[in-house]
Amino acid sequence: MVKQLRLVAIPRLAAGGRWRVEAMRAYSEPCLLWFTKGQGRITVAGTTRGYTAHNAIFIPAGVMHGFEVGPQVFGTAVFFGSDCSVTLPKEPYHLRIRETFTAQELNVTLDAILRELNSDSPAHERAAQAYLGLLGVWLERQIAKATPEQPKPDAARRLVTRYTALLEREFRSGLGVAEFAAQLGVTPTHLTRCCKQTGGRPASALLHDRLIFEARRLLSETDLPVNLIAGSLGFTSAAYFTRAFQHQTGKSPTAFRRGP
């Protein structure tokens, strides 16, 4: 099934548990996070930064990310859909919008998209796509304006970006940090040092985060037996998976599936 354009209030992304936004994982479609109130930290491709109101963060499909959502955080997430025809950036960007008019321009565009998506007027889908095209133009212009201010990624950030991309592709393989580091041509120690430098967490934490997010998702959204979930995530046994899951979440897989 092809994923379609949709707008979601950022607090709703955490419905069913804050782990749904805080754990490192990737979407199969591009996403724009527009924060209008509150603050927190967001990690994109292994690099952690603070965000505040009027921050727009574009995340391409397949890029690992996770962010804090406190009770005072509000905004909109735009999911572009996996068949989006609008020209979008190939790299992630964190835009700090300082001009009131520029923020208002984005708010008006998002309101127009949502209005057309919820409409039954003739050609409402085409109208929504037209406004989405304007959103793509807005992004392109803000990125061009911000580019001179954006520091070029150093060697550590480039390595961690490669690691998170590899991790997203192969986290189900059962490989450990040492094997991932070997594929990247570095030592596990160097990879962990770079992960701590850019995101404040070791390479193993990113791997465990991704595995446990997927485990939680499968436990919440499917009826797959625990042993099959363990095997699909590269764990050598259901018992090992259960220990790892309980260590990370404080609950056994069965207890998590039952809910609060």
**141-150, 180-189, 237-246: least confidently modelled range:** 141-150
φ/ψ of 87, rounded to 5, equals -70, 120
Is there a contact between 51 and 40 (Cβ–Cβ < 8 Å)? yes
For residue 51, name the pLDDT band (cuts at 50, 70, 90). Answer: very high
pLDDT tens column, 104-141: 999 999 999 999 999 999 999 999 999 999 999 999 99
Give the C-alpha separation, 47 to 147, whole Å.
18
pLDDT tens column, 166-213: 999 999 999 999 999 999 999 999 999 999 999 999 999 999 999 999
Domains present along the chain, CATH in parentheses: 6-149 (2.60.120.280), 155-258 (1.10.10.60)
Among 185, 175, 240, which Cα is nearest to 210's? 175
Helix axes 188-199, 177-184, angle to 10 degrees: 90
Is there a contact between 177 and 207 (Cβ–Cβ < 8 Å)? yes
Is there a contact between 141 and 166 (Cβ–Cβ < 8 Å)? no
The mean pLDDT value of the chain amounts to 94
Give the C-alpha separation, 148 to 143, whole Å.
9
Res 147 pLDDT > 90: no
Give the C-alpha separation, 34 to 77, whole Å.
6
Give the C-alpha separation, 207 to 188, whole Å.
13
**Residues of the chain with pLDDT > 70: what percent?**
97
Per-residue confidence (pLDDT) for residue 149, from 0 to 100? 62
pTM for this one? 0.92
- H helix runs in 15-154, sequence order: 19-22, 100-117, 124-146
CA distances from 230 to 53, 68, 225, 248 (A): 39, 27, 9, 15
Which H or E run includes 65? strand 65-67
